[in-house]
Every structure is written in structure tokens, then in C-alpha cells.
Amino acid sequence: MVEVIVRQIDDLWIGLAMDGPDYVATVVESSHEAATHELASCLPTHLETTAGEPPAQRLISAVEMVARLEYGDESEKTYSLSKAHLTGPAYRIYGAAAQIPKGYITTYGALARSAHSEARAVGRAMATNPLYPIVPCHRVIGSDFSMVGYGGRQDTDALTNKYTRLEAEVSDHPEEHYLEIDGTYLPLYPVEWALDASREADARLAWRRHGVELEQAEARAQLTLF
């Protein structure tokens, strides 16, 4: 039986589902209603759950750990993902992504190789991540260090949210690093590299827009002359 709990920590509402010691789903929201709804959406509809009252101490401790992760403290990050409630490919993808430390990012393609999967499957898994913040999906970016998308969305608000989260995790790591995962090496890059690439892309876009505006202004001037 999967146990569920929704509990407030400071200004956060943490929801989680656990099968014994294994995490099935975790969510962080701004209200009890949102956390309850989002947690339910992460679980299969047929799954039997129970909410013990009062909750077991291990569930309370798990909630507190998830809250610390959301606030940026990963010093005591401990977890075990549920093999019973994740497919084999999802378990490998989330298991690899969960190991990306604060201050680093990796790419969809690199994560796919370490999880013995494909970049497209990694993209789907990150977009539907049911284990945030244990699985820091915002630390997975495009091969050119572009933000690509966040939370299954690619609009400006989503990309800005991803950029802001990464900006808060700058740790001044001097160079790339590697994690050994299942006989492969997952490359990790300083988060600053992604932020720099994003700013450069924004600058190029602004310059292109400026050029278009100049061409349009010149065209209007020519029309005025004639």
C-alpha cells in the first residue's frame, strides 16, 4: 500500500507518496489544494493509497528532506526511487537525473546515454517528472546549452522559470565533472555555462530583431519619399 502525505513546511506545501522506504512521487506547491491535486495527478488512477493520521515519523522526515531540497540544501539528500511504480526506462532516467548535483547541468543526450535510453524519452520524462525536487529536471538542458523547455512547456514563462532556478544554483564550479553511472560517464557542466549560453542567445535574438526593425523603418522611409 502506498502511503501519501501532504504537509506544510514554512511557505511550501509538500506532497509525497511512498511505498515503504521508496519514493513514488513528490510535489512542491504553494497551497494544500494544489499539492493534493498535483500529487494525485502523478499517481496511476488504480493505485491504492492510504493517508495515516497521525503520519509516521519517517514520512514527516521525508517531507522535511524534500523541503530542504527545494530551499537549496542538498547536504542530507537521501532517497530510494520505487522500482515497483516506475517502468524500467523511467527508473533509469530518473535515477541518473537524481544524481545531478547543485551547481551543475547536463544535456538530454548525455543523460540518455547514461540511462541507456534516447534523448526524446529523456525529454518526455523530464517534462512529466513526478519526483521533483529529488529529480532536478531543471538541470537537464539542450545539447547547445539552451533551456529548451520546462515542466512540459516551451513558452517564455517556463524558460524564464528554468533560467531563474539555475541562476539561484550558481556555485562557481571551475570546470566540468563526470559521474560514473552504470558503466557510463555522465558529463556535468557548471551551471554558468548554460546561463552564459542563454544570455548570448538572447543577445543574438535582440540583434536580429533590431535589424528587422531597421529594415522596416528604412522601407517606411522609402515609401514616404515616393
Sign of the Cα torsion 163, 168, 174, 176 reads negative
Classify residue 185 by its DSSP letter. Answer: E
CA pair distance 18, 199, nearest whole angstrom: 40
The catalytic residue among 39, 67, 137, 147 is 137
Grid cell locating 212: 528587422
CA pair distance 116, 12, nearest whole angstrom: 35
Annotation marks residue 42 as catalytic: no
Residue with cell 540583434: 207
Residues 6 or more apart whose CB falls under 8 angstroms from that of 23 comprise 16, 17, 62, 79, 80, 81, 82, 131, 134
Give the phi and the psi of residue 33 in degrees, each rounded to 5. -60, -45
CA pair distance 150, 128, nearest whole angstrom: 10
Q: Strands of 22-29's sheet, edge to edge?
A: 22-29, 12-19, 2-9, 49-50
Catalytic residues: 137
